Structure 1
Amino acid sequence: MGPWGTPLEGVPARQRLHAQGAAGVAERPPLPQPAATLLVLLAGVAAGYAGLRAPEGLVEPLLAALILAAGVAVGGQLPAQEARLAQAASRGLLLAASTMAASASASAALAAFTGTMPPGAAAALGAAAGWYSLAGPALAAVDPVYGLVAFLANLAREAMHLAFYPALARRGLRVEGIAVGGATTMDTGLPVVALHGGPYEAAVALVHGVVITLVAPAVVPLLAAAGR
């Protein structure tokens, strides 16, 4: 049978192969969302590396509009879930505390095991939780190399959240996956959580990101100073 249920008996071999090929193309699954997001990100990085630049003053308004749209989408669904808002806030607080503690502890343990940098400096890198513009300068005050590593590591963390949260959400890790984004879940990561998680998860992500954003500027410099 052909791709639309038409019989292939009596059809020349070349036409039969063409019909079967068309059916295979039609049935080919779409590119997974995480892979598509990652490809878009890599394409943007390649374009920037090649010298292409967005018109001056365009990026910030577009980003603000995207965050506003995510907020409107989430806010429109929240009235039906008011009973869960308090739970989302408390869960966001606990998740933020565990995110910073786990990130700092894991980074310090890895640094102690490998000897690549002082555990205090590594803890500061982890406690920044994706806030690369905070981690880079704070660690650069200790050592320029540490600052570069902190900047790139936290930038990679944000990119990983944007690329892989959809896959985590599909596997039932809608709340747990928020931790990957760290501080970025209150801004750049929020639309991804709202789209692939839901209004409850978006509320958790917002609280999670806000708490880390408020706490990290006090914690990261202290840990970085301990790594001198």
Structure 2
Amino acid sequence: MKGSLIIVGFFILGIIAGMTGLLHIDDFGFDVSFTALAMLMFCVGIGVGSDFSALKSLRTQSGVMLLLPLITIIGTLAGCSAISLLFPDRSVSDMLAVGSGFGYYSLSSIFITEYRGAELGTIALLANICREIITLLGAPLIYRWFGPLAPISSGGATSMDTTLPIITNVSGKEFVVLSIYHGFVVDFSVPFLVTFFCSF
């Protein structure tokens, strides 16, 4: 929980710095977000590389574990279908298209804006950002309530990049390779599922 509060604290500091004009993202002269992500991945790589048991963990995972991306996709789409009952002004296909972003907000919102307009595209952007933030901040609680695989599923497509450090910290290094595999498969499904549901 302490780690999540630190992350929130830095997020708030960033908002304040941006709003007050103290710092602007263009002041750095390079892509800060990409650089930060690259450094996080480098640090995770060091952790995995120095622990050979983590690299071997994927071989020891059961076949059921390797179905985790499919379970994440089915669970997310089932949840979106259920939530659609609360929004009668939106079609089920709209809700499924938004959910099919799986946290990959940049790509999914672009596709949805192109197919269904800016309003639904903005909803998709916010919904998928929320999924990522919930994973970043809530991973310790998600782990405590549902077990080590739950933060990986919660992260969706982001489990191989932005949420990987917190997943590693909470679930353990033995789940790093599975988390990357999960993120890759779910990430790969995004353009196909989003465009499929947008076509209805």
TM above 0.5, yes or no, is yes
Show structure 1 runs of 4+ deviating over 6 A.
none
Contact 2:49 2:55 in 1 (8 A): no
Asked if 1:198 is matched to 2:172, the reply is yes
Read off the aligned partner of 1:42 and give its amino acid letter.
Answer: I
Cα displacement (A) at 1:130? 0.4
Corresponding residue for residue 103 of structure 2: 130
Corresponding residue for residue 147 of structure 2: 173
Query: Going by fraction, where is helix more abundant, 1 or 2?
Result: 2
Q: Which moved more, 1:150-159 or 1:68-77?
A: 68-77
Quickly say closer, same or farther: Cα 1:81–1:39, change in 2 above 3 A.
Answer: closer
Cα displacement (A) at 1:225? 1.6
Corresponding residue for residue 145 of structure 1: 119
Q: Deviations over 1:177-224 (max 9, x none)?
A: 211111011111111112222122212211110001111111111112
Corresponding residue for residue 59 of structure 2: 86
Match of 1:118 among 76, 84, 91: 91
Quickly say closer, same or farther: Cα 1:68–1:118, change in 2 above 3 A.
Answer: same
Contact 2:151 2:171 in 1 (8 A): no
Distance in 1 (CA, whole Å) between partners of 2:96 and 2:108 is: 11
Distance in 1 (CA, whole Å) between partners of 2:14 and 2:116 is: 32
Quickly say closer, same or farther: Cα 1:143–1:82, change in 2 above 3 A.
Answer: closer
Asked if 1:38 is matched to 2:3, the reply is no
Distance in 2 (CA, whole Å) between partners of 1:117 and 1:91 is: 35
Match of 2:24 among 45, 48, 53: 53
What is the TM-score when the length of structure 2 is the normalising length? 0.86
Cα displacement (A) at 1:159? 1.1
Q: Deviations over 1:61-94 (max 9, x none)?
A: 23212111112212321x2356532244845542
Identity %: 26
SS of residue in 1 equivalent to 2:90: coil
Q: Deviations over 1:47-69 (max 9, x none)?
A: 33444323131512232121111
Quickly say closer, same or farther: Cα 1:88–1:199, change in 2 above 3 A.
Answer: farther
Quickly say closer, same or farther: Cα 1:87–1:53, change in 2 above 3 A.
Answer: farther
Q: Which moved more, 1:86-95 or 1:136-145?
A: 86-95
Unaligned runs of 5+ residues in structure 2 are: none
Cα displacement (A) at 1:173? 2.1
Q: How does 1:149-164 map to 2 (within 5 A)?
A: 149-164=123-138
Distance in 2 (CA, whole Å) between partners of 1:49 and 1:138 is: 30
Quickly say closer, same or farther: Cα 1:73–1:221, change in 2 above 3 A.
Answer: same
Unaligned runs of 5+ residues in structure 1 are: 1-30
Aligned length: 195
Read off the aligned partner of 1:136 and give its amino acid letter.
Answer: S
Match of 2:157 among 183, 206, 210: 183
Cα displacement (A) at 1:107? 1.3
Cα displacement (A) at 1:35? 2.5
